[in-house]
Amino acid sequence: MKTSITKGLWMLTVLLLIVSSLDLRAAQERQDKQPSQTEGSLKFYPHSYDHRPELPSPSILEDGTEIVVALTKNNKFVLIPVTVKKGDSLGYRDSDWAKIGILKVDGEDFPTLAQTGLHSEIELDHTRRITGRSIAEITESGRPEGSSGQGFMSQEEDIISVLKGDNRLVRKLGLTHPQLAKTLFHVWNMIRWINAKSERVGRTISDVAYFLYNGKQVRLLHAGGRGWQDSIFNDEILGMYQIEFSLELSEAEKTWRRSRKFSRGVFPRRFSNISQYRISLQE
């Protein structure tokens, strides 16, 4: 469901806030191509290795294939292709799939976003429609009891204020929206690959203990969905999955969290719960 994508996004945002934006930015800059490796020279999941392949995770192979390294619960290493590109249909609304531009940036409504990866607040202030739909319609659909019971924003917000807040947070992290999205797409593509191969080998996502990402061990806790939900932007993108993941913090990160009085499920005052699926960072 669309709520699943929203939940995955805010969980990813909290994750990045805790572990520092520098990890992601530096890793994206150092994703050098592996000159001696191509997709054809490696074996992907469900094939396993007794020892970790000598590849960074994530990494880009010579032919452009993006991969991550994971460890199964049997203590075997596996390679999973997670290349961010438009792939095949997942089976939902096949006749419409060719029109879906999930990687496309809406340059018509947001030219600065398309050029720089970040919104211009001046453009946002003058935005009256997004993907042909009015701001009022999108806001009504996104509030609680609109297109989702929980909603994607509070009753006091509108879509423009949400976009501004998200944009300020991404800028504060030293990232761009495409950089942030690429990490989530890697997770999503890994889930898709494992699920597709599981039908053949009788395994599920639970076979993977964790995957490696920028030196962190990230555990997938849940990945599943029931049906789908249309995007509030009426752009023919369908949300259909709930993704939950976690990682172990370093001692330095644990100290940082304690200094700001984080606890499980409870956020300090500078964080505000908007809904079950979203929090907001207060300036």
Cα atoms found within 13 Å of the Cα of residue 110, Cβ hemisphere only: 20
Which percentage of the chain shows pLDDT scores above 90? 28
In this structure, what are the phi and psi dihedrals at residue 281, rounded to the nearest 5 degrees? -90, 120
Answer whether residue 2 shows pLDDT above 90: no
Q: What is the mean pLDDT of the chain?
A: 75
Asked if the structure places residue 52 within a domain, the reply is: yes
Mean pLDDT across 208-226: 84
The domain of 6 spans: 2-101+182-281
Which percentage of the chain shows pLDDT scores above 70? 64
Question: Residue 33's pLDDT is what?
Answer: 54
Mean pLDDT across 221-244: 72
Question: Residue 112's pLDDT is what?
Answer: 96
Question: Residue 110's pLDDT is what?
Answer: 94
Asked if the structure places residue 244 within a domain, the reply is: yes
Asked if the structure places residue 228 within a domain, the reply is: yes
Residue 131 near residue 142 (C-beta atoms within 8 A): no
Asked if the structure places residue 31 within a domain, the reply is: yes
More confident residue, 193 or 116: 116
pLDDT, one tens digit per residue, over 140-186 is 988 887 777 777 788 888 999 999 989 998 998 899 998 888 888 89
Sign of CA dihedral 171, 240, 222, 214: negative
Question: Residue 153's pLDDT is what?
Answer: 81
Asked if the structure places residue 173 within a domain, the reply is: no
Tokens of 27: 């890793």
Answer whether residue 270 shows pLDDT above 80: no
Answer whether residue 250 shows pLDDT above 90: no
More confident residue, 76 or 36: 76
**CA triplet 34, 40, 42: central angle to 5 degrees?**
65
Asked if the structure places residue 213 within a domain, the reply is: yes
Residue 212 near residue 70 (C-beta atoms within 8 A): yes
Asked if the structure places residue 14 within a domain, the reply is: yes
Answer whether residue 36 shows pLDDT above 60: no
Answer whether residue 11 shows pLDDT above 50: no
Cα atoms found within 13 Å of the Cα of residue 92, Cβ hemisphere only: 15
Mean pLDDT across 81-102: 60
Mean pLDDT across 53-78: 92
Asked if the structure places residue 147 within a domain, the reply is: no
- For residue 52, the SS3 value is coil
Residue 243 near residue 188 (C-beta atoms within 8 A): yes
Going by pLDDT thresholds of 50, 70 and 90, the confidence category of residue 63 is confident
Going by pLDDT thresholds of 50, 70 and 90, the confidence category of residue 131 is confident
Mean pLDDT across 46-70: 92
Answer whether residue 260 shows pLDDT above 60: yes
